[in-house]
Structure 1
Amino acid sequence: MRPDLPAAFLSVPLAHRALHDVADGRPENSRAAVRAAVAAGYGIEIDLQLSSDGCAMVFHDYVLDRLAEASGPVRARNRAELRAIPLKGGDGEGIPDLGEVLELVGGRVPLLIELKDQHGGMGITDGALERAAAKALDGYSGPVALMSFNPHMVAELARLAPERPRGLTTSAYDPADWPELSRAVCDDLRAIPDFERTGSSFISHEAGDLARPRVQALRSEGVPLLCWTVTSPAEEAAARAFAVNVTFEQYLPPLTS
């Protein structure tokens, strides 16, 4: 089963880690950033990490230090502990879980959810984060799609939530940018070999690498091509020569009518 990507993902720009701006009290992946994106009418891209008690937490990094008033691995803390840790640059709010974000969005804008690789080296998954995400999404009826850089995780999402559109987050995989991966893994993933086996409906590709022949071959086959992450109108214009939609930050793109 290969569910179609909802049409809203093809037209509504997606705010990267929600509409964040710490200068205005809206940290990455925060409730405040989610509210701001919904109010402005933008779609939202968020990230998921796993708590020690198996909950899907909306947080980008593997460790707390950069973004929160604590240190150490996210996965070493349980949901209650993480919800109590203030985000830096916010108004004292803690780390949200996926269920809270789904309530805030309420189906009003498209929500693109990236599951961060939990296994190192894009390895075989234990399915824990995928199960947590699928559980939180049970009963949610708004436009939503799931993705991951790790193809094994996307394949597991296909098994656990076959009705949910899913895709691969993809990249040029320059080994200099991916020190945690071997050159062989980079070379393999760069060719996007897992699109068919994962039952993916789309890819979200690195904005500076959109002209890659493999990416454009998928596009020519009718695969929706999203991209990450543009930071200016000029970058958006260049990306839209190839991609149907953009994930953005640091500026406000126009909304199509």
Structure 2
Amino acid sequence: MRLSPFGPLDRWRAPAPSPERVGWLRSATFAHRGLHGVGGEGPIENSPTAFADAIARGLGIECDVQRSADGQAMVFHDWTLERLTAATGPVVEKSAEELGSLRLGKSADTIFTLPQLLDLVGGRVPLLIEIKSRRDVRFAPLCLAVRSALEGYRGPVAVMSFDPRVCAWFARHNAHIVRGLVVTEEGHRGRAGRLRRQLSLWAARPDFLAYDVRDLPSRFAAAQRKRGLPLLTWTVRSPELAARAALHADAPIAEGAGIR
């Protein structure tokens, strides 16, 4: 596979991290939203039980965070509450206390704060925190909440986002926190898409990439991996995708039958 012609610019605008900083990313399988059930069976995604089960299996954890009305980082994927709780409306319109009282599905689990998840993990397994972002929502308050939660945490942890502004924020304000850019080529596979990925990389200055497994092998991903950025890949849901991940990436973010 031909590699990127942007090598010199990549090294200048988005230098590769030291191996010591990011080596731990290559040694784990990350349970996507915890070790949750598929098809309505088993623990709910991003739930305390799903995270505890992943820890018991020795798996790394990938989770999502949203901001509450009072500025707390809440472990929840969706922008609204309907899919996973009996409540309705945007997550950001409810306080951390209100969100913490909501049960996930029909389980006894409730929505976690990020500090509660950090207390549960306690550095025992690696942790990836995906910071959710939209163009019409201010992202800095959630970055601040995550930064506050991570103060004093001892254990392998990284933040990541589809939004290069989030990565750039951590590069400016908390460069010691490992940061990643989440990438999909879906709908953007032409020349404009390739340029967009390069610009996002230079803006974000990430320590690693988390890449859509459906896009692998990828010329862009291979070029960044070759120059020292660990390449994680999501969401690995089958043995076939696990084999693809093993061939073209450093570590899978997996669920269901994709977890070996």
Is the structural similarity TM-score above 0.5? Answer: yes
Structure 1: how far apart are the matches of 2:195 and 2:88?
Answer: 31
Q: Percent same amino acid at aligned positions?
A: 38
Structure 2 counterpart of 1:52, from 69, 76, 98:
69
Asked if the contact 2:236–2:258 (Cα under 8 Å) also holds between the matched residues in 1, the reply is: no
Structure 1 counterpart of 2:145, from 129, 132, 138:
132
- Tell me how large the CA RMSD over aligned residues is: 2.3
Structure 1: how far apart are the matches of 2:149 and 2:134?
Answer: 18
Asked if the contact 1:173–1:187 (Cα under 8 Å) also holds between the matched residues in 2, the reply is: no
Deviation at 1:220, TM superposition (A): 1.5
Larger fraction in helix: 2
Report the residue type matching 2:30 in the other structure: L
Asked if residue 251 in structure 1 is aligned to residue 245 in structure 2, the reply is no
Deviation at 1:251, TM superposition (A): 2.4
Deviation at 1:8, TM superposition (A): 2.9
Structure 1: how far apart are the matches of 2:72 and 2:164?
Answer: 21
Report the residue type matching 2:178 in the other structure: P
Deviations 1:143-200 (A, max 9, x none): 001100000111112223211100100011316xxxxxxx99x837752423244331
Structure 2: how far apart are the matches of 1:189 and 1:111?
Answer: 30
What residue is the counterpart of 1:23 in the other structure? Answer: 41
What residue is the counterpart of 2:206 in the other structure? Answer: 200
Structure 1 counterpart of 2:156, from 131, 143, 150:
143
190-199 or 66-75, which deviates more: 190-199
Deviation at 1:232, TM superposition (A): 1.4
186-195 or 64-73, which deviates more: 186-195
TM-score normalized by structure 2?
Answer: 0.86
Deviation at 1:142, TM superposition (A): 0.4
What residue is the counterpart of 2:105 in the other structure? Answer: 88
Structure 2: how far apart are the matches of 1:114 and 1:30?
Answer: 15
Structure 2 counterpart of 1:221, from 224, 227, 238:
227
- How many equivalent pairs are there? 242
Asked if the contact 2:241–2:258 (Cα under 8 Å) also holds between the matched residues in 1, the reply is: no
Deviation at 1:107, TM superposition (A): 0.3
Gaps of 5+ in 1: 176-182
Report the residue type matching 1:35 in the other structure: A
What residue is the counterpart of 1:233 in the other structure? Answer: 239
